[in-house]
């Protein structure tokens, strides 16, 4: 089992990034790969979790060890797979997620893509009282300047890849266009916050 990888970020897409280490490129699925835009072609350390299935071997990546631990707790819940867990974590509002679980706020939890009422109730049942030590905001590094249209397009692609419908993305796109120009990572984080307010 892998614990982490140290290597150079060589490619970023809406659902994964590629890290080159010792001559091999590792495809690593992430909730928000664009947070690494500032580190493109630079060395990074990414915590990993490997999932082996009959048809795929997938690496999931995390900026911090606490993120990885939160992911592992989420996938321990019946009805939440690795992709759903990444979508839940993509908003980077770990405080809000933990608070929702602790206060049994099912209404908040069902706003995540792929989480219905039954799964939200299961999250509360399985995780309540077990996430307190993971509380705390995750530090997010600044991203380099990109054109507004490119950054917005990348953020919308990432929202779509996380499981939000085209209709939901269009609604958020209108709101994001009203904001000042931002980096992809910032558009994505704001887009996820707007999705949670629906």
pTM, full prediction: 0.72
Is CATH 2.40.50.140 what the domain over 4-62 is classified as, yes or no?
Answer: yes
- The domain defined by 65-134 folds into DNA polymerase; domain 1 (1.10.150)
Pick from 122, 114, 129: nearest CA to 83: 114
Buried b (16+ CB within 10 A) or exposed e, 47-59: bbbeeeeeeeeeb
pLDDT in tens, 172-182: 888 888 888 88
pLDDT for the residue 146: 47
Mean pLDDT split into 10-residue runs, the chain, 198 residues: 94 95 96 91 96 94 92 93 91 83 91 89 91 55 52 87 88 87 85 82
Q: In what helix (H) or strand (E) does residue 86 lie, and over which residues does it extend? A: helix 82-89
CATH of 148-196, one of 1.10.10, 3.40.1000, 1.10.8, 3.40.50: 1.10.8
Query: Are 156 and 188 contacting, i.e. CB atoms less than 8 angstroms apart?
Result: no
């Amino acid at each position: 089992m892998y614990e982490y990888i140290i290597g150079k970020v060589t490619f970023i897409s809406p659902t994964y990034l590629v890290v080159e280490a010792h001559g091999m490129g590792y495809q690593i699925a992430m909730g928000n790969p664009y947070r690494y835009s500032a580190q493109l072609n630079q060395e990074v350390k990414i915590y990993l979790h490997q999932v082996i299935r009959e048809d795929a071997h997938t690496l999931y990546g995390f900026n911090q060890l606490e993120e990885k631990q939160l992911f592992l707790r989420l996938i321990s819940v019946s009805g939440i797979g690795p992709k759903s867990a990444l979508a839940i974590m993509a908003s980077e509002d770990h405080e809000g997620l933990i608070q929702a679980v602790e206060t049994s706020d099912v209404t908040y939890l069902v706003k995540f893509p792929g989480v219905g009422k039954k799964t939200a109730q299961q999250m509360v049942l399985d995780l309540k009282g077990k996430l307190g030590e993971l509380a705390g905001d995750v530090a997010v590094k600044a991203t380099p300047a990109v054109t507004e249209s490119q950054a917005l397009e990348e953020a919308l692609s990432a929202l779509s890849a996380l499981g939000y419908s085209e209709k939901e993305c269009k609604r958020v796109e209108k709101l994001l266009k009203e904001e000042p120009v931002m980096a992809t990572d910032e558009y994505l984080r704001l887009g996820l916050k707007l999705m949670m307010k629906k």
